[in-house]
Structure 1
Amino acid sequence: MTEFITSQISDEIFFKISELENEKNKLKQNKIAKEIISELDIEDFRPYIAYDLEGNIFIALNYYYSSNGIDECLMTRNHDATITEDGVYIDDESFLETLKIGYLDDIKISREELLKEEIKGHQKEYDKVSDDLEFYNNHLIQLINFERPKYVGNFQKITEIDKEIEILEQKISDLKIKLENLN
């Protein structure tokens, strides 16, 4: 992780960090630090201005997956990572990696739960459409068996039911495809 962060920081930024560490004027330190932060773009890390015990400014990084926010890091002076002219320092790299793994596991679990809910919703809709299809099929069979289709009224009913059945069969087909894609 240290190597990854170091590779994301240009030599120009390390030069500016060196300037920051050597500068004694607090206003100039603040200006340089803001320039550095605006130029830093490190995946999973947010740069911020931190202060040492003498009040000098340095650049610290807050890990995206950390339970500590920037404010808490500033109060406790316990930063996920710090950048100096000599390089990047991380107190406990394995702890940060564990945080990311835990975060990603939580996301995976919540996505699986959402997917299960979506599947349940599609399954309920599929069951309802299947019940409707069965009802119309039974109704159609009753019309054909008990009433002669040669009567115009019955023929129209049969035609309407056939159209409903086609629509329901198409819905069933669409829902089957959705369920297969979700699984």
Structure 2
Amino acid sequence: MDIGKFETELRDLMGSPYYDRPFVCDGSPLDCQVFIVGINAASSMTEDFWDFWRSGYGFDKSAWYSAYQAIRAKPSRTRTVMQIVMDEAVATNSDVRFLETNIYSFPTPRENILRSHQMSTKIFDFLLETIKPKVMLVHGAKPNKYLREYGHGDARVIESPHFIYLSHERAREHGREIARVVQ
């Protein structure tokens, strides 16, 4: 699949505008060998997902991150740990590309306040089926349970406690492990 077809299928699936957060990456999601998977995003944003999409390129993570910083005084503990994982993996293997995603794309401060209609996995399932990551770092009991029950293709799954409970050293270990698997 090329980036144009991916965009068309994603737009058909999500619609436009789309104010939830289906994923974050830098450039084409199709180039991402690694998914970092949680249950759902904690922070809502007022921007449309498609404001950060560039046809023929993919997702503009730096523009998204600027908008994210505008609504958060500082990055969440989850985002901080996620960045440590990614930085360590890239320092070990500069070819590693990440896609940050969640089982549910609807953001809420806590997963337990999601309504049933907000608990759709169709976008996550599309990403998994279309991109076929080599590795998935899955943080939290519920996303790990989901992947055990519904499958993960041929991806190697690294199960982790939720990132809010993960030490920075353990995050670096995950990054090094991901870099080794992707080589």
TM-score scaled by length of structure 1 = 0.29
| Bigger CA radius of gyration | 1
Provide TM-score, normalisation by structure 2. 0.29
Q: Which has the higher contact order (CA 8 A, sep 6+)?
A: 2
